[in-house]
Structure 1
């Protein structure tokens, strides 16, 4: 019998177009904690926060980072701040000027008007360009407030709450995190990144701190970047191999056993 019998195997039939999130079983919760424990041992939790931006600045940074390497989105963010030290100035700037300033990111032609629209939406709803008031809300309330703005989804809302100076207990899920979760069987093959936020958060203790949730995201993301690659994952040096159905299938195929 496998160590975690509720794991979703990669070779199971895909009967539905998209799997609906369900309440996690105790074995699945146990597996999520075991993955966290092992990866924290490898990547040395607690992991220092990489940003200390105010929440509005973190929102702009998150919008720039979509489908873009961290180094490129970081340069684009710094370029924006160097050219316009105040977000109100960005709100008033022309789309073409913003696009030129962030040209190093993926899809600058889409991100430039979106940044302007998001800043205007914040001003319309708040009366000023600040998101500091989110600190007084619960995580669910704050995420709901953010996601009511067109162009802001679960990943961005969670990133703003977790990565910014708010330091709220939200769980972001990026593409690396999502890939590791799918391959290890924490989520099924048809659970997209957006819906996976609620599924993966439900597998972790309700009372976890912001630091613990940040660490959980970071270790799965780092594992995806350094071991569980999109192509040719390094299963031979993965500390999760014995509890990873995808890795076990790949190793068995490589050995000619299937």
Structure 2
């Protein structure tokens, strides 16, 4: 499997499997899952940029500090870069993220004829809205999807984080050699086209939660996995552990 378009039969098979996994994980983790906040789209974009390779607690603290220091995003855009960097010092690479956030705010201002808002994205199809966001410096598939889905726009775009990606690869929904970026399109194509933002959010959340609570990066808890029968990686791992050869010492 690659990031190239899939044959219709294979896509249909994967979509059916993805739906079974979704339904079982939703039972396990309790869908629908409440959205964790309701930022406006511009605030969500900045929050997402801050969160890259940073723990949620640290990026959240940096976001709150930024909003406390500056009353508007226009003020952040026009502030000395050193002041912005000081506000977000809790995140990874603040020296890169501060100028990047200001570049993004400046670019939006230019593209929107002086208006610093992303509310207009609600009028666009999801794909067009994502393309518009991804034309901004430093904005990739995960950030564009998070901006549309997590914000008060509530548009059905699927973000894929590292936990989501790991679980999907182990389940065989994507190949393990597909990077996170291209995985967005592959995994989103497996979801029903008529799903609303809540169902797309649930899908993201349950796969992420499964990665955090069961399908760990090291030593996944396969024996208590509710989708083990759908997981070729887990089945192979347990079969290897049961194999007599696995416990026999090598001959001298």
Unpaired runs of 5+ residues, structure 1, are: 1-7, 9-17
- How far, CA to CA, are the matches of 1:59 and 1:196 in structure 2? 20
CA deviation vs aligned residue, 1:58-88 (integer Å, no higher than 9, x gap)? 0000001111111111111001001112111
Partner residue of 1:242?
229
Matches within 5 A, 1:4-153: 19-23=3-7, 24-126=10-112, 127-153=114-140
Alignment RMSD (CA, Å): 1.3
- How far, CA to CA, are the matches of 1:152 and 1:30 in structure 2? 31
- How far, CA to CA, are the matches of 2:78 and 2:11 in structure 1? 50
Query: What's the CA shift for 1:22?
Result: 2.1
- How far, CA to CA, are the matches of 1:134 and 1:72 in structure 2? 28
Q: Is the 8 A contact 2:3 2:186 kept in 1?
A: no
Which is greater in Rg?
2
Q: Secondary structure at the match of 1:25?
A: helix
Q: Is the 8 A contact 2:3 2:182 kept in 1?
A: no
- How far, CA to CA, are the matches of 1:184 and 1:220 in structure 2? 11
4+ residue segments displaced more than 3 Å = none
Query: What's the CA shift for 1:230?
Result: 1.2
Identify if the C-alpha distance between structure 1 residues 179 and 21 changes in structure 2 by more than 3 Å, giving closer, same or farther.
farther
- How far, CA to CA, are the matches of 2:233 and 2:85 in structure 1? 41
Unpaired runs of 5+ residues, structure 2, are: 247-252
Determine which structure has the larger helix proportion and give its number.
2
- How far, CA to CA, are the matches of 1:153 and 1:166 in structure 2? 18
Matched, 1:202 2:186: no
CA deviation vs aligned residue, 1:33-79 (integer Å, no higher than 9, x gap)? 01100100011000000010000000000001111111111111001
Match of 1:160 among 147, 150, 156: 147
Partner residue of 1:255?
242
Normalised TM-score (structure 1)? 0.90
Partner residue of 1:15?
none
Query: What's the CA shift for 1:21?
Result: 4.2
Q: Is the 8 A contact 1:176 1:225 kept in 2?
A: yes
CA deviation vs aligned residue, 1:169-228 (integer Å, no higher than 9, x gap)? 111111111110001000001111111111011111111111100100010011111111
